[in-house]
Chain A
Amino acid sequence: MTEDEKFFAWLDGELAPADAAAMEAKVASDPQLQRLAEQHRALAAQLRGAFDPIARAPVPQQLQAALRPPAEVIDFAAAKGLRSLPSLPQWAAMAATLVFGLYLGTMVPQRGTGPVAVQGGQLYAASALNHALDTELASAPAGDVRIGLTFRDHSGEICRSFTASASSGLACRSNGRWRLKSLFAVPERQGTDYRMAAGMDPNLAGMVNSAMAGEPFDADAEKAARSRGWK
């Protein structure tokens, strides 16, 4: 080991006790080495500070989905309310933008019309869900769909998170419609008691976090956005 390498090994706690004591004494008597030690401790702290938040952040759905055996992936075609499926490549593209664990079938279709409409390879809110996103306020919950946060995303679109009886998700306003960005099944154990105080699915919370530009709307901003047609 060169002296340089020994110095850094000491800094990293990699030297045997006797060698460490010797290096300790050497550094103590050398202001230049002391300064170098400080700089490198700060650098290491900076590295951890930059990367550690990633290890604490929610793991993206796509990554978690990679762990699931294919058999557990929900069969889209079996989901109710989707009578005419787009062609396969379209579904493949949509699957990439959607989150696995999607469970359309649990969103109860109402009179043959599901809460989700498919158009041009995109999923849009329909019927009751669309109505709730259009009209409901988080500050005044009513009906089966409960609105969580309303905010602008990084592209300036207004987005709203929602929880329905069996699913929760995020929809953003796109050309006058609510485009679904994600949809999660509410875990079975929570049954239909979706008005949990703890609120959001952690995966959804992660998505909201990374989508949100600035602060979520307060009650006044939410109301104002509704009267402007969510523009």
Chain B
Amino acid sequence: MDQTSSFEDQLSGLLPRLRRLAHALSRDPADADDLAQATIERALRSRDQWQPGTKLDSWCYRIMRNLWIDTARARARKNAREAPEEEGLNIGDDPRDAMEAAVDLKRIMAAMSRLPDEQREIVALILVEGFGYREVSEMLGLPMGTVSSRLVRGRTALLAMVGEQ
């Protein structure tokens, strides 16, 4: 581990990837940035629990995943009750820089959000973030076989959804 850069610096370097994972897990970009922010805040508060020499990204992803699980259910209930918020003035939260990319992202996020949570997180970590099966199995505390079978189900369902659009 690089001793010269502070915990904050390392965390800062991870931000772009943390945001990407948050988008792969979340229903919309606003939720995604909320999740990324909550992850940063939790990571800073829990920094004593991180062991230098272990991978900071896996540690942060685990935090994000736990927060996501905590909030996903509550948010699903809330969203079912409320009309979607007006797209608005929240400048700076929208990572999209082209209409085309925006449409792609929206479409893929919609398909991802229809996957069961336990499949979506595996698809996000392996196909979007590029982690290996073993890393994900360790990160999530799941047997390899479970990771592998959820990945098959998730990507198969996803292909069917994207194909039908």
Q: Which residues of A contact B (CB under 8 A)?
A: 1-2, 4-5, 8-9, 12, 14, 39-40, 43-44, 46-64, 66-68, 97, 99, 153-155, 170, 181-182, 203, 206-207, 209-211
Contact = CB atoms under 8 A, between A and B. Distances in A.
Contacts of A39: 159, 163
Contacts of A57: 16, 19, 95-97
B105 interface: yes
B101 interface: yes
A54 B23 contact: yes
A154 B87 contact: yes
Contact of B92 (A2, A5, A154, A206): A206
- The interface size bin for chain B is 35 or more
11 contacts: A9-B133, A14-B132, A43-B158, A44-B155, A51-B20, A53-B97, A62-B33, A67-B44, A68-B8, A154-B87, A155-B89
Interface string B4-29: 00001001100111011001100000
Nearest to B144: A1
A226 to B, nearest CB: 23
A66 B96 contact: no
Given A12-B126, A55-B20, A57-B16, A67 B92 contact: no
Contacts of A58: 95
Nearest to B151: A8
A170 B91 contact: yes
B158 to A, nearest CB: 6
